[in-house]
Chain A
Amino acid sequence: MTTQNLVLGQADPPRPARPRKRGRSTPYLLVIPACAILILALGYPLVWQFITSMQRFGLSQQFGQPPEFVWFDNYVTLFTDPYMWTVVARSLAFCLVTAAVTMAIGTLMALLMNAVHTSVRITLQISLLLAWAMPVVAAMTVWNWLIDWRRGVLNSVLTGMGLDFQNHNWLANPLSFFFVAMVIVVWMSVPFVAFSIYAGLTQVSTEVLEAAQLDGATLAQRLRYIIVPIIRPVLAIILLLQVIWDLRVFTQIRLLQDVGSIASETNLLGTYIYQLGVGSSDFAMASAVSIFVLVLTVALSWFYVRSMLKEDES
């Protein structure tokens, strides 16, 4: 909401009464196209969504009845619904665990890249880049094939190792479903994390590290007292971005649900909104959940935005 108002405020700025020079109005003219499209495609829907979230909007409204204004009733319904809390808790848990695992693996990968011979590092970088470059839907088809319960290579390999995974369906049980989803999301996200942290690591001067080593600092000490403090800003921002991005894993969950699992047991916030809005046409409740997601994202994003603003000022 706030965002959009800011944009709106931007679009028709209090134009200084008849600018004396032509140059005064130039910046405003320059931002008009961008503002116009943002207001049309994001601002208007946001306002509509906010209003709709306070209306009753069911099937009868689909047939032309004017919606009834109910203030915050939808939010009350929503937050007294245990299913909503299940979805919220599930989303948060999935997001935090996935972000943590991604960060841990990404950091280890960056340290590995930093420690190995150049040729090994380039091999690592190429495979990470290929994984990173895969379009998300293509990646999902591949993963669905890897874990396919009939002919998937994962089951074949595990069975070959003497475990009983013949025709094991990885998506049938919600816990195993989310484990698979996590593995996939981690696979996709680690490259960005590893590359960014590696970029941070190249900032740590080798002279300082060597000096510390000569003074008898162990690897753990060097890591703790020299490397981590230097790359802390990078770590913080990347962790934040991961949390924000993992909160909105829609595509992956949706495409795993397609293959067959009970949607109500595997819904996260994104797929829940989809189910409410597109599935059952309950636009009011879908809007209320959407507003909740937006507020959550904006709150989380605030730190990231603040650090970027600092960059803008410098």
Chain B
Amino acid sequence: MTSTVQSTGASAPPAGSRPRPDLPPTGRKGGGGNRRIRPGRIALGVIGIVVSLIWVFPVYWMLNSSLLPNVVLQSTTPTWLPFGGSLDNFVAVFSGGTFLPALGMSTAIALITVVFCLLFAFLGALAISRFRFRGRKAFVLAVLLIQMLPAEGLFIAQYKLMGSLNMLNSIVGVSIIYIAAVVPFTIWMLRGFVAGVPADLEEAGMIDGLSRTQAFMRITFPLLAPGLVASGVYAFLQAWNEFTVALVLLQDNSSQTLPLWLRGFIQASASRATDWGQVMAASTMVAIPVIIFFLFVQGRMTSGLVSGAVKG
């Protein structure tokens, strides 16, 4: 699943120690030696703006179309700005009756995935970053390799498995697959966070009379909160966006997740005139929570994927 769960990849580094392509820029890259060549710099700036506009255009077009009535969208000349737009499309999609069940389905699956994935991955991360044990290396290797496995290479077998367990079209069935698909990356991501909290801190607590568990719960755990939040958001996004496994396991119309629900609009567009305004409103509703969460978590994800390669 890793296909959407496509993003797959690696660790979060100990907080702050590595360069992160976070949004807030560090500002130290003002352009070095280029500052003297004014005209060139302005030309580059113009190119930069044009490229930004091109890249963001599909997102803008989604929002723009979602606000326009179908009559306007059906005209041969495109309407570039949503003047005179309304939220009617959103209302229509919302009251269409299929959105809320899909939303419920997606939310349930995503929450189950987040909770169990965090729990399992946290324990696993603890094992590999706080203990040296026989088989540790094999475990780390397995974690790294599994996260690269494509959903497409396994979905037929998972379909048969869930069929034999009577869990096709069930929330639990899909969640099991999602947890397994996300746990490896989450272990790897949390490993970095756990390793970032020095064991000395815990030992100091133990000298002061706490038990090992107490020391862990009172000292290390609070320091790990940001890591757990980031990993949780990551797991949520994967489960929320996943398409491939859902397509195979949830073939019943009454058990669609949001991506499958959206796909229904695409399929319909092949055969009959589509109300693109509503489709874009639907897409917007699926995308908004993701965009918000994503902005929150992305810095950690990139740095995790390539942290080994960037020399800190």
Contacts and interface: CB of A to CB of B under 8 A. Distances in A.
A311 interface: yes
A270 B3 CA distance: 11
Interface string B128-165: 10110111111111101110111111111111110000
A309 B144 contact: yes
Interface in A240-278: 241, 244-245, 247-248, 250-251, 254-255, 258-260, 269-270, 273-274, 276-278
B310 A203 contact: yes
A304 B148 contact: yes
Interface stretch (B56-64, B92-100, B197-205, B224-232): B56-64
B199 to A, nearest CB: 13
B263 A259 contact: no
Nearest to A287: B156
A13 B135 contact: yes
Contacts of B47: 112
Interface in B260-312: 262-263, 265-267, 269-270, 273-274, 276, 279-280, 282-284, 286-287, 290-291, 294-295, 298, 302-303, 305-311
* Secondary structure of the A contact surface, majority rule: helix
Contacts of B187: 34
B21 A270 contact: no
A305 interface: yes
A19 B116 CA distance: 29
Contacts of A34: 120-121, 123-124, 183, 187
A262 to B, nearest CB: 13
Given A145-B276, A250-B151, A46 B302 contact: no
A46 to B, nearest CB: 7
Select the residue from B52, B127, B262 with max chain A CB neighbours within 10 A: B52
A6 B141 contact: yes
Given A27-B131, A38-B180, A290-B157, A123 B148 contact: no
A196 B22 CA distance: 10
Nearest to B136: A27
A126 to B, nearest CB: 8
A6 B142 contact: yes
A308 B10 contact: yes
A203 B19 contact: yes
Interface of A: 2-3, 6-7, 9-10, 13-14, 16, 24, 26-28, 30-31, 33-35, 37-38, 40-42, 44-46, 48-49, 52, 109, 112-118, 120-146, 148, 150-151, 153, 156-157, 187, 190-192, 195-196, 198-203, 206, 209-210, 213, 230, 233-234, 236-238, 241, 244-245, 247-248, 250-251, 254-255, 258-260, 269-270, 273-274, 276-278, 283, 286-287, 290-291, 293-294, 297-298, 301, 304-305, 307-312
Given A245-B3, A278-B248, 15 more contacts: A34-B183, A45-B157, A48-B160, A115-B34, A121-B25, A124-B52, A124-B55, A129-B23, A131-B56, A196-B305, A203-B19, A269-B152, A283-B156, A297-B150, A312-B128
30 contacts: A7-B142, A13-B133, A33-B124, A37-B176, A42-B181, A48-B161, A112-B51, A115-B31, A115-B44, A116-B41, A130-B56, A133-B290, A135-B286, A140-B266, A141-B283, A142-B61, A148-B269, A199-B19, A200-B310, A203-B19, A248-B150, A248-B151, A250-B243, A258-B266, A259-B269, A283-B156, A283-B160, A287-B157, A305-B145, A309-B141
- 8 nearest interchain CB pairs? A45-B157, A41-B180, A127-B56, A270-B152, A133-B294, A311-B308, A277-B156, A30-B127
